[in-house]
A and B are shown apart, each in its own frame.
Chain A
């Protein structure tokens, strides 16, 4: 526990002393601010039964920016340590490999939460500026925030694993991006002609991030996505642990 906290502190420090975290945070906030303005204008022109929160997280543009976030914040985690050789000093210190994996993961989750927080501040700010009441419900806001947290846990775990299998940060980033996208489109597969069979499209919708977000951004908290994302994250982190340990016996 002691080592975990020391490592966590070190990871957070190196995130915020490099410009990467700040640039990512600024660009992500800017992009979503712009998107929100667009959505507000669209909603003024055409009446919709959905709330502002629902419409933002329904938008493909939001998800585009969102997916690019994960490769950026996870690519250096292990790839950099392996390339620089500092992993040798780290793993020959009296710390457990699991503490190393978890501290890096936890630090990235903290960074991720800080990066998406401004997006949720948009809504109260909008309400405060315009005096408009009906734009969203607090339940929708909390639900979608929780949804993004869950999706983030899973995507950061993908990035952590990708970063541990290569010494090249760019390759780690590409692997993360591809798998994050694949997972997202898996949910859409059921909607296309390929799998007209209803059992397939039903099962695939359980994987669908968009589907999960629909219920969550209406303020309905379902336990199934919670179990789904947490379990998959745990599996990916376990794999990361094994990848790191495999250096010992790999030929």
Chain B
């Protein structure tokens, strides 16, 4: 659905997007994850033909973003960051206008407006002015607009930005439902969102792709060791040194001490499950266990890990094509005309 090859956007003295390549297959929900200013919006704007790339090429729904800009735009639904809307219009009026603008005939437009209002639960505000709507409703109007011409692909730039937790849950639910029929590329810097909705994550930082994989796989390949939290009672020195001798345990750290119970953290090999071994060791050394819990690494850990170690990590292999073939430099004048 989306094929991106060496897409680059340079502003004077700064490379916002640096030769990125990735693909999004039909039916996928792909999360574009990165800190603010990583190049997520710029990439999306290039895919929606709002900006031209300095170098590289991309195809959306089989159409080139330079040569068939109108066709590309016909096949995608885009919700820009912060959901800009005409505040002086009513909801139905706005959606009708957008439907007609996207080429739907009068009657089709009417039917389609009703459908998307149903999908996005907008019926109760259909006659309200957009200026009076809350952020949550405006976001749903933006989503309804993106859906209105039944596009193959939805590109959503920070769809849950600025919503309250309840609204975030609702819109996440909606996006997941939409994912059953549409291909979705969404950007966010909220990690839990990606973990819950996306089948695949593309992590981008400083204009470069750091990793691209399923959330589970990213966590599994995490460089950071797993952690075991435990509270024990007994001969402190003896138990802790015995624990340190277990091969898969990297380090033992005492956290606190209260009423004879010692709380400590073990850093362990993420691939090994040492819980049984740990408990046996403690009992063998005459101790008692009150708590033994393993803290699983999260996508957040993977993200922090990747973004802090700038530069691609060989352990996170990219599945995007690495081909350096045909860097297609386009002069600026050509690209500015190409989209019209």
Interface residues of chain A, those whose CB is within 8 Å of chain B, are 2-3, 6-7, 10, 14, 17-18, 84-86, 88-89, 91-98, 245-249, 251
Contacts and interface: CB of A to CB of B under 8 A. Distances in A.
A93 B102 contact: yes
A7 B332 contact: no
A94 B78 CA distance: 11
Nearest to B14: A251
A96 to B, nearest CB: 6
A6 B87 contact: no
Contacts of A246: 336
Nearest to B84: A85
A251 B10 contact: yes
Given A94-B74, A96-B340, A249 B87 contact: no
Task: Identify which of B12, B87, B102, B333 gathers the most chain A CB atoms within 10 Å of its CB.
Answer: B102
Interface string B76-105: 001010101111110000000110111100
Given A89-B145, A92-B73, A249 B335 contact: yes
Interface of B: 10-12, 45, 48-52, 54, 70-71, 73-74, 78, 80, 82, 84-89, 97-98, 100-103, 145, 332-333, 335-337, 339-340
A248 B336 CA distance: 6
Contacts of A247: 50-51
Nearest to A96: B340
Contacts of B45: 88
A87 to B, nearest CB: 8
Contacts of A85: 80, 82, 84
B97 A249 contact: no
Contacts of B97: 6, 10
Contact of B50 (A6, A88, A96): A88
A88 B73 contact: no
Given A10-B97, A93-B102, A96-B70, A251 B87 contact: no
Which 8 residue pairs spanning A and B have beta carbons closest together? A85-B84, A251-B12, A248-B52, A249-B332, A94-B73, A94-B74, A92-B48, A88-B80
Contacts of A2: 103
B102 A89 contact: no
Nearest to A18: B88
Contact of B84 (A14, A89, A97, A251): A89
A6 B103 CA distance: 10
Contacts of B86: 14, 84, 86
Contacts, number: 78
Nearest to A251: B12
B340 A245 contact: yes
B84 A88 contact: yes
Contacts of B340: 96-98, 245
Contacts of A251: 10-12
A15 to B, nearest CB: 11
A94 B54 CA distance: 22
A3 B101 contact: yes
B3 to A, nearest CB: 19
A94 B339 CA distance: 10
Contacts of A98: 340
B98 to A, nearest CB: 7
A94 B50 contact: no
A94 B63 CA distance: 13
B103 A94 contact: yes
10 contacts: A6-B100, A84-B86, A86-B84, A86-B86, A88-B84, A92-B48, A92-B50, A245-B336, A247-B50, A249-B332
A2 to B, nearest CB: 7
Given A89-B145, A251-B12, 7 more contacts: A10-B97, A88-B80, A89-B78, A93-B102, A96-B340, A247-B51, A249-B336
B88 A17 contact: yes
A107 to B, nearest CB: 14
A84 B131 CA distance: 12
A84 B87 contact: yes
B336 to A, nearest CB: 5
Contacts of B100: 6
B99 to A, nearest CB: 10
Q: Which of A93, A96, A246 has its CB near the most chain B CB atoms (within 10 A)?
A: A93
B130 to A, nearest CB: 11
Nearest to A3: B101
A14 B88 contact: yes
A94 B48 contact: no
Contacts of A3: 101, 103
